[in-house]
Amino acid sequence: MMAHELTTLLRTLRHGRALAGKQDIAETVAILGRDTSDGIRLGDDCAAIPDGDGYLLLASEGFQDSFVRAMPWFAGYCGVMVNISDIAAMGGRPVAVVDALWSDTSEAAASILTGLHEGARTYGVPVVGGHTNMRSTHNSLSVAILGRARHLLTSFDARPGEVLIAAIDLRGRWHDPHPFWDASSALCHTEGAARLRGDLDLLPGIAEDGLSRAAKDISMAGLLGTALMLAECSGIGMTITLDDIPRPDDAPMERWLSAFPSYGYLLTARPEAAGAVMARFHGRGIAASVIGQCDSTQRLDVTWADEKETFWDLARMPLMGCAP
């Protein structure tokens, strides 16, 4: 690999739309503030609301008109799938979802709602209400989820000296033309649904057994963007080795680093606990490996072959504005 290849790759990812979208969060944070009056921190995958001996988890996702129009069934399915992934990333288990749907025809609404229903059935999480408008000028979907956690995995608790682990289900396919790596929807009408539920339950198990305190699901920002969000919220830096990232054999590096996997998580762990964390994923056929180290630099540095370059310096340029 030539040195300019790493430079070009990181420049492309740094200036992509997905990461720019995360930068927009800073404007919201500036208005709402980084902490609510109850100390619930902005910037995590879910709001974690203290509740008895655990936490209620609350999150939502919205889907653009272009995606909903192009793939209405899959948009509905994703409404459940991606929200449940956020709950798992916080060490929780889902309780219920509600949706808000706008469509220009009842036929479009039916396809979206069928996907939503089948996602809910696949993951065993009921749709308990919401809002429906079938006389709109556009097709849009928003889905919110409630969950519960006994012990949290957060974006704020990664520490220097820990290792960074990537766990990704590689048993999927691209959902062209979108950057989705889909290892879920093909199983929604099969006995694989039970496998999907069991795979998600690994995350709360890891949290409850004290093997990790920090995690994020790999989002539309891609793997490096997600790592950057985790580093910012925790006030740390990281060095990531691209060759160590679990990746399908035929996936080019740039495409894979831009991918939004249906099952993909970053976790940090003490070096002595990393083997136990990875063994849990390996035991269910999910690829997992140590891909980096956490440090105190506030930079995200990347190595590829024999080259090393800084992807982002959070001390000079915040991303979401959620640093401690």
pLDDT, tens digit, for every residue of 14-28?
998 877 778 777 777
Is residue 318 domain-resident? no
303 and 175 fall within a common domain: yes
138 and 157 fall within a common domain: no
- CB atoms < 10 A from the CB of 4, how many? 10
Is residue 320 domain-resident? no
65 and 138 fall within a common domain: yes
pTM: 0.94
24 and 128 fall within a common domain: no
Is residue 126 domain-resident? yes
Is residue 176 domain-resident? yes
Is residue 40 domain-resident? no
pLDDT of residue 286: 98
Cα separation, 264 vs 199, in Å, equals 11
* Amino acid occupying residue 235: G
Q: Which of 134, 149, 164 corresponds to the end of one domain? A: 149
* Amino acid occupying residue 17: R
pLDDT of residue 2: 53
- Which run of H or E residues covers position 249? none
209 and 296 fall within a common domain: yes
292 CB-near residues (< 8 Å, 6+ apart): 163, 164, 227, 238, 239, 240, 241, 244
DSSP line for 56-73: EEEEEEEE-HHHHHH-HH
Structure-model confidence comparison of residues 4 and 281, the more confident one: 281
Overall domain count for the chain: 2
165 and 305 fall within a common domain: yes
Mean pLDDT score of the chain: 93
**Rounded to 5°, angle at Cα 163 from 158 and 166:** 95
Is residue 9 domain-resident? yes
Is residue 134 domain-resident? yes
138 and 170 fall within a common domain: no
**Rounded to 5°, angle at Cα 187 from 183 and 193:** 105
204 and 279 fall within a common domain: yes
Locate 19 and state its tokens: 């990461």
Kindly report each contact of residues 40-44 with a partner whose C-beta sits within 8 Å and lies 24 or more positions away, as own/partner: 41/154, 41/156, 41/233, 41/322, 42/322, 43/155, 43/156, 43/229, 43/232, 43/233, 43/320, 43/322, 44/90, 44/154, 44/155, 44/156, 44/233
What are the pLDDT digits (tens) for 62-100? 998 899 999 999 999 999 999 999 999 999 999 999 999
What are the pLDDT digits (tens) for 122-149? 999 999 999 999 988 888 999 999 999 9
What are the pLDDT digits (tens) for 219-278? 999 999 999 999 999 999 999 999 999 999 999 999 999 999 999 999 999 999 999 999
pLDDT of residue 140: 92
Q: Which of 115, 149, 183 corresponds to the end of one domain? A: 149
Locate 212 and state its tokens: 């990790």
**Rounded to 5°, angle at Cα 252 from 17 and 216:** 55
Strand-pairing partners, residue 199, are none
pLDDT at 191 over 90: no
Q: What is the phi/psi pair of residue 48, to 5°?
A: -110, 110
pLDDT of residue 86: 97
Q: What is the span of the domain harbouring residue 291?
A: 4-29+153-313
125 and 227 fall within a common domain: no
Full strand arrangement of the beta sheet holding 307-313:
214-217, 264-269, 163-168, 287-295, 237-241, 299-304, 307-313
Q: What is the phi/psi pair of residue 130, to 5°?
A: 150, -150
- CATH of residue 138's domain is 3.30.1330.10
Query: Quick one: what percent of the chain has pLDDT higher than 90?
Result: 81
pLDDT of residue 38: 62
193 and 207 fall within a common domain: yes
Q: Which of 129, 149, 169 corresponds to the end of one domain? A: 149
Structure-model confidence comparison of residues 20 and 202, the more confident one: 202
108 and 222 fall within a common domain: no
232 and 141 fall within a common domain: no
Kindly report each contact of residues 14-19 with a partner whose C-beta sits within 8 Å and lies 24 or more positions away, as own/partner: 14/311, 14/312, 16/222, 16/258, 18/179, 18/220, 18/221, 18/222, 18/225, 18/258, 19/221, 19/222, 19/225, 19/228, 19/319
Please, what's the largest Cα pairwise distance for the chain?
57
- CB atoms < 10 A from the CB of 33, how many? 9
In contact, 54 and 87? CB cutoff 8 Å: no
pLDDT of residue 275: 98
pLDDT of residue 176: 85
pLDDT of residue 322: 76
Is residue 74 domain-resident? yes
- CATH of residue 260's domain is 3.90.650.10
